[in-house]
Every structure is written in C-alpha cells, then in structure tokens.
C-alpha cells in the first residue's frame, strides 16, 4: 500500500542486454511505484537485475520495453538531453564507490550539484556548507576525499545528493564499503534527511541489516519481483 | 566550478601537466622562431625598396626581384623624365660585387649606388658618419652587423670592391641582406665604377610623382610611354621581390613547413596528454553525466583545461621566443616577432589546444552514464 501519490513508477519494465549475438534478459516486466516519504530497498542476489532497475528508474538507462514515469510524467523514450534534464531536476544519486571528485574539497564536491543547476556561488557555498553540517561534517569543508574515512565520504555523497533538494533519491549499495555500524548510521541519516522532507528513496543493497530503516523491501530474482514486504524476504 | 575542476584536473598529475606544457611551449617557440625567420627574411628581401621614398620603380623588362636584373640604358632615364607627372627621377644601382678584405680574403657584397644629393635610395638607420660623406670618391657605408664578415672594424677602414678602392665613411645598424652578400651603400658615381657600368647606365630608375598624382597613375603613364621596361609601385615591387625569394626559391616554404610542423607536433602532444588526463577523470565525468550535467558543462571543463594549458604554455613559449629573438639580433639571423604576430600566435595556440581537446570531448561524449552503477 503506497502512503501517497507515486513520485516514481515503473510499468512492465524489461531490459535485455546483447552480448555478442546472445540476448541476456536482465529485467522481465517489472512493475513498481514509490511514493513521497517512502524508503524502498531493492534486494536480491548478484545479477538479479537490481542495479539495472535502479538505472532505469533513474532515467540513466533506457528500458527495452515498458515505461517509467517521474513525478507523473512519462520519461521513457525521451532523448538523452531531455533525460539529463529530468535527472537534474528530480534526482539525487548516491553511488557505491562514492564517486567524489578526488581533486575537490568536500564543500566543492557538494557544490558541484548546485553549480550544475545554475545556483550562484555565494548561495551554493552557503547551502553546501549547511548540507555538510546536516550530515555531521561541519568541520570538513576544506578536506579532500583522500583524507576522509569511508563513512565520511559517503556522508559527503549524501550531502551532494540532497543539497539540491531533489524529490527522488537513488542509492546503489551505499553501505557496501562501510562497516556495519557506519552503514547503519549512514542509512539512518539518509532516512532522516529524506523522509522528513517528503522525498522518496530507493536503495539497492545486499545488506539485510539496514532493512529496519526501510518502509518496504522488494525482492528481485532473475529479473522479476518475487516478493515485497516490510522485512527482508 | 568549471574552471576550478579543470585546473584541479590539470594540477592533479604534475608530470603530465609538465609534458602538456612542454608540448605547448615547443609549438609556440618553433612557430615563433620559424615564423619570425619568415617575417625577418621576407622584410629583408625588400628592405631597400621599402625604405626608399620613391613611389615608382622602373626596371629592365622581365625583372623578377630587386637583387638580380639587367642594367637600363641612359636613354630610359631621359624618357622617364619626359613623362608628364614625373616630379623627380634618379638613377639607382644594385649590383653584386667582390669585396677584398684589408687583411686578405674576399666576400660577395651587393653594391647599392644612390644619388646623395636627392637622397632617394639612401641608407637609413645611420649610426656613424654622414650621408654627405658618401659623395666623396671611394666612400662607402656598411652595416655594423657585417663588420666582421667584411674584415673591417669601423670608420676609416679601407678595402677593395671589384679591385677598386673603397673607404668606410658611414655605418648603419640593422640593414640586413637576405642573400649572404651584405649591402654596401655608395654614391651613384662610385657605384658606376664598382659595378663596371658605362656612364649613364643604371639598374633602376627611382621616380616620384608630382603632388596629387597617385603612384598607380604615374606607373601606368610610364609603362605606356617608355618601351621595354617594367614599372612598379613601391609596394608592388616589394611584394614581387618578397614572393620571388620566399616562394619561388623554396626558402619561405621551408620555414612555413617547419612552423606548421611545430603546430602539428605541439597539437599532437597536447591532444595526447589532455586525452590521458580526461581518461584519468572519466569516473568523475561519468558521475556528472549521471547527475544530469548537460553535455556543454562537461565540454567546457575540457575546453577550460585546454585553454589553461594554452595560456601557461604560451606565456613560457613567447618569453623564450623573445629571448631567442634578442639573441638573434646580435647575430646575423633576422628573426622578427612583431606584436601582431605574437597576438596571432596566442590565438593560434588557444585554437591548437582547444582542437587537441576535441579528442577528449569525443571521449566524454561517448561515456555511458550507467557506468556509475557498475563501480567504474
């Protein structure tokens, strides 16, 4: 049962990759929707299609068939430039490997997200610092990623994803490189910052320990949703 | 942020940055020196023409350049004087001759005989002696650059030109010859003797129009009224001479090809290093694309990297080039690097680096943003 109107919706989404002459189906008709304020985990074994689904939900990868609607607007079939505008307008991304700019300070890494959206420098600096303070890195503005711990890097990545206040947050294995306690803290933070602002969050993970922070867990196997509920399946 | 990201990317790998800058500096210096030699040689080929006050030049039919031509008979001088619109006409001699050094040995020289009374075709940039002293028998002016080559030390020194006495009464500075034969200025009377010409013969007739008459109109009038001569405006004859020496002899093309080589080699080096820098930062560019960065945002980062490399490389390159120019001024080579050329070279450097960056732009354009979810 969705708590509100869906911000993100996939209908009969299928994706087939072609490796040489061999067609490899990664998704076989997935239907799902995520509402505002909802935290959804996508779980399943490696190669089950979780990351492919996340890429399609994030308008980064085009489905072979089916459609994706973002904020109620059909996104499938849009040209790449338009999809980039959709991503910029509505999405925040958190990646497994943090994907921070190694040559930029923490504050600058966060500010990139605002610079892409045309926010002026003074405003962008203030908002970036506020975002870092919100993730507990108020004393790390002028620190390079190489001098941050894994947990701190992921917090910078969260600040970067949230600073532009996107409605939808997509995270790919955000705790994979973190120890158990740090992983839990990061997810708790993510939930707090997202849900309190009415955002929806979709997280791909293998980590069953963070299921407690999710509203819903969707199990994917062999490119299909095989179950969903509020506990790890 | 674009410039910040670009600069940090460049500075991230200092060794690669050094290679990039070396490529730009190499290109700038090579183009500046070869281009400067081209400009210097080009100007040297026509410097005597360009520095006379004669607007119209009359030469024997079929002349191809300033330095080599047949003598004109005296009759042509009088025919030219009879053309309406001629305010003044002077005989002028240019002839290769043999200079015998005081201490023995010989050099080829180019005797330039002018009328000291009118001053048409006189030496410029005189640093010692006077034009009036050149009226004296055997009096010549040479350039300071060639004192050693001519085996003399300065004013008062004596030598022989085609076995006739010559005495240095004036010195000039910076009158370079494109050929290996230095110009030796003397009076027309002395020039006749050195060139072995009959009285009244000359190589050229230098003509000035009456006030208000254009050089082109007078040129046409002389060409119509005097048979078997070629008539040029100063600019035409200058251009003809420059073209002859720089392009029909291949000298100019060799210099231009060397300059182009600098452009190509510099461009390739910059393209390779910028490409390597881009590949190093591909995950970041992929992240930007995944976040929704417009293509232009990423392209501007690469262009900013290229422009930054161009600016720094140009600054070092042009400084080295001017240093080499100053060294050349003390030697026999004529390298000219006028401000206009330096400005042009700046834009060429920027274009070279940005063009080199296009390879990298192609690379980032082909990034699949989905790479960010594959742990790339």
Q: Is the pLDDT of residue A10 over 70?
A: yes
Confirm or reject contact between A167 and chain B (CB < 8 A).
no
Residues of A in contact with B373 (CB under 8 A): 51, 54-55, 60, 95-96, 172
Chain segment B66-120, per-residue pLDDT in tens: 998 899 999 999 999 999 999 999 999 999 999 999 988 999 999 999 998 888 8
CA distances from B356 to A118, B7, B272, B316 (A): 28, 17, 8, 19
Residues of A in contact with B283 (CB under 8 A): 97, 99
Nearest to A88 among B292, B370, B373 (CB): B292
Q: Do B318 and B355 sit in the same domain of this protein?
A: yes
Q: Do B70 and B184 sit in the same domain of this protein?
A: yes
Could you give the ipTM of this predicted complex? 0.88
- Hey, CA dihedral for B6, B9, B14, B19, is it positive or negative? negative
Mean pLDDT over the full length of chain B: 89
- Hey, of B291, B296, B368, which one would you mutate to test binding to chain A, going by the most A CBs within 10 A of its CB? B291
pLDDT at B339: 93
Average the pLDDT over A142-171 and give the result.
Answer: 91
Within 8 A by CB and 6+ apart from A128, the residues are A107, A108, A110, A111, A114, A159, A163
pTM for the model stands at 0.76
Q: Is the pLDDT of residue A196 over 80?
A: no
Domain closes at, from B159, B192, B227: B227
Average the pLDDT over B371-375 and give the result.
Answer: 65
Within 8 A by CB and 6+ apart from B197, the residues are B71, B93, B95, B191
Q: Do B159 and B259 sit in the same domain of this protein?
A: no
Instruction: Return the minimum-mean-pLDDT range out of A224-233, B125-134, B166-175.
Output: A224-233
Residue B239 falls inside a structural domain: no
Distance CA A26, CA A33 (A): 19
Residues of B in contact with A102 (CB under 8 A): 12, 284
Q: Do B194 and B332 sit in the same domain of this protein?
A: no
Residue B50 falls inside a structural domain: no
In which region does residue B230 sit, left (phi positive, over 0), alpha (psi from -120 to 50) or beta (all else)?
beta
Residues of B in contact with A172 (CB under 8 A): 372-373
Q: Do B31 and B158 sit in the same domain of this protein?
A: no
Q: Is the pLDDT of residue A4 over 70?
A: no
Closest-CA residue in chain B for A84? B292
Q: Do B216 and B277 sit in the same domain of this protein?
A: no
**Shortest Cα–Cα distance, A212 to chain B (Å):** 24
CB A25 within 8 A of CB A223: yes
pLDDT at B332: 62
Q: How many CB pairs under 8 A join A and B?
A: 79
pLDDT at A1: 41
> Burial level of A232, CB count in 10 A (0-12/13-18/19+)?
middle
CB A115 within 8 A of CB A124: yes
Confidence of residue B376 (pLDDT cuts 50, 70, 90): very low
Average the pLDDT over B270-278 and give the result.
Answer: 80
Q: What total number of domains does chain B contain?
A: 2
Confidence of residue B275 (pLDDT cuts 50, 70, 90): confident
Q: Is the pLDDT of residue B314 over 90?
A: yes
Confidence of residue B20 (pLDDT cuts 50, 70, 90): confident
Residue B187 falls inside a structural domain: yes
Residue B51 falls inside a structural domain: no
Average the pLDDT over B218-232 and give the result.
Answer: 94
Residue B353 falls inside a structural domain: yes
Residue B18 falls inside a structural domain: yes
Task: Collect contacts of B155-163 with beta carbons under 8 A, ≥24 apart.
Answer: B155/B128, B155/B129, B157/B102, B158/B102, B159/B99, B159/B100, B159/B101, B159/B102, B160/B99, B160/B100, B161/B97, B161/B98, B161/B99, B161/B100, B161/B109, B161/B111, B161/B194, B162/B97, B162/B98, B162/B194, B162/B195, B162/B196, B163/B98, B163/B100
**Shortest Cα–Cα distance, A118 to chain B (Å):** 11
Q: Is the pLDDT of residue A193 over 80?
A: no
Confidence of residue B224 (pLDDT cuts 50, 70, 90): very high
Judge: B370–A172 Cβ closer than 8 Å, yes or no: no
Average the pLDDT over B242-267 and give the result.
Answer: 84
Instruction: Return the minimum-mean-pLDDT range out of A39-43, A173-177, B315-319.
Output: A173-177
Domain closes at, from B227, B262, B292: B227
Confidence of residue B48 (pLDDT cuts 50, 70, 90): very high
Residue B338 falls inside a structural domain: yes
pLDDT at B246: 86
Q: Do B255 and B307 sit in the same domain of this protein?
A: yes
Judge: B291–A87 Cβ closer than 8 Å, yes or no: yes
Compare B156 and B272 and report the one with higher pLDDT. B156
Nearest to A99 among B1, B12, B283 (CB): B283
Q: Do B76 and B34 sit in the same domain of this protein?
A: no
Distance CA A185, CA A163 (A): 19
Confirm or reject contact between A105 and chain B (CB < 8 A).
no
Q: Do B68 and B33 sit in the same domain of this protein?
A: no
Domains of chain A: 6-229 (3.40.50.300)
Confirm or reject contact between A47 and chain B (CB < 8 A).
no
Other C-beta atoms closer than 10 Å to the C-beta of B39 total 18
Nearest to B4 among A51, A91, A108 (CB): A108
Chain segment B157-205, per-residue pLDDT in tens: 999 999 999 999 999 998 988 888 999 999 999 999 999 988 889 999 9
Compare B229 and A5 and report the one with higher pLDDT. B229
CB A30 within 8 A of CB A44: no
pLDDT at A202: 94
How many alpha carbons fall within 13 Å on the CB side of residue B289?
A: 25
- Hey, of B283, B373, B376, which one would you mutate to test binding to chain A, going by the most A CBs within 10 A of its CB? B373
Chain segment A172-181, per-residue pLDDT in tens: 888 877 777 7
Q: Is the pLDDT of residue B25 over 70?
A: yes
Domain of B184 in residue numbering reads as 62-227
Residue B232 falls inside a structural domain: no
Residues of A in contact with B288 (CB under 8 A): 112, 116
């Amino acid at each position: 049962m969705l708590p509100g109107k869906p911000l993100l919706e996939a209908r009969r989404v299928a994706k087939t990759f072609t490796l040489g002459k061999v067609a490899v189906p990664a998704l076989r008709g997935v239907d799902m929707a995520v509402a505002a304020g909802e935290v959804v985990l996508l779980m399943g074994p490696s190669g089950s299609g979780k990351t492919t689904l996340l890429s399609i939900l994030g308008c980064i990868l085009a489905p072979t068939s089916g459609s994706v609607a973002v904020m109620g607007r059909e996104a499938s079939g849009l040209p790449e430039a338009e999809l980039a505008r959709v991503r910029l307008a509505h999405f925040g991304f958190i990646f497994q490997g943090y994907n921070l700019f190694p040559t930029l300070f923490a504050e600058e890494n966060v500010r990139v997200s605002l610079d892409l959206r045309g926010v002026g420098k003074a405003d962008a600096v203030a908002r970036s610092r506020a975002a870092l303070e919100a993730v507990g890195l108020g004393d790390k503005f002028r620190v390079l990623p190489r001098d941050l711990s894994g947990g701190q890097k992921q917090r910078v990545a969260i600040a970067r994803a949230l600073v532009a206040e996107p409605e939808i947050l997509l995270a790919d294995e955000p705790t994979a490189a973190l120890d158990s306690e740090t992983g839990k803290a990061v997810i708790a933070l993510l939930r707090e910052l997202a849900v309190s602002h009415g955002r929806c969050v979709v997280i791909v993970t293998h980590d069953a320990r963070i299921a407690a922070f999710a509203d819903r867990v969707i199990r994917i196997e062999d490119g299909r949703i095989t179950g969903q509920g509020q506990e790890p399946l | 942020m674009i410039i910040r990201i670009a600069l940090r990317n460049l500075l991230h790998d200092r060794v690669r940055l050094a290679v990039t800058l070396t490529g730009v500096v190499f290109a700038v210096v090579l183009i500046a020196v070869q281009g400067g030699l081209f400009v210097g040689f080009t100007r040297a080929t026509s410097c005597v023409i360009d520095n006379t006050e004669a607007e119209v030049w009359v030469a024997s039919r079929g002349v191809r350049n300033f330095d080599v031509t047949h003598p004109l008979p005296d009759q042509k001088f009088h025919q030219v004087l009879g053309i309406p619109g001629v305010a003044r006409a002077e005989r002028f001699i240019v002839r290769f001759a043999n200079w015998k050094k005081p201490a023995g040995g010989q050099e080829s020289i180019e005797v330039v005989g002018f009328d000291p009374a009118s001053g048409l075709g006189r030496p410029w940039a005189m640093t010692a002696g006077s034009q009036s002293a050149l009226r004296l028998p055997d009096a010549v002016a040479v350039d300071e650059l060639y004192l050693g080559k001519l085996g003399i030390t300065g004013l008062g020194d004596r030598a022989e030109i085609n076995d006739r006495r010559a005495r240095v009464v004036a010195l000039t500075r910076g009158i370079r010859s494109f050929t290996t034969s230095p110009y030796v200025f003397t009076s027309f009377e002395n020039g006749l003797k050195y060139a072995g010409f009959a009285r009244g013969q000359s190589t050229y007739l230098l003509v000035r129009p009456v006030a208000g008459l254009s050089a082109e109109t007078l040129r046409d009038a002389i060409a119509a009224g005097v048979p078997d001569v070629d008539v040029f405006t100063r600019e035409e004859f200058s251009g003809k001479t420059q073209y002859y020496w720089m392009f029909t002899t291949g000298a100019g093309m060799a210099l231009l090809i060397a300059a182009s080589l600098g452009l190509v080699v510099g461009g390739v080096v910059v393209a390779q290093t910028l490409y390597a820098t881009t590949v190093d930062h591909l995950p970041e560019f992929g992240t930007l694309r995944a976040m929704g960065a417009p293509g232009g945002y990423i392209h501007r980062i690469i262009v900013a990297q290229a422009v930054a490399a161009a600016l720094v490389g140009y600054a070092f390159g042009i400084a080295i080039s001017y240093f080499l120019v100053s060294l050349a001024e003390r030697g026999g080579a004529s390298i000219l690097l006028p401000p206009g050329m330096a400005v042009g070279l700046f834009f060429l450097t920027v274009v070279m680096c940005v063009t080199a960056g296009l390879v990298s732009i192609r690379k980032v354009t082909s990034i699949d943003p989905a790479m960010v979810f594959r742990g790339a």
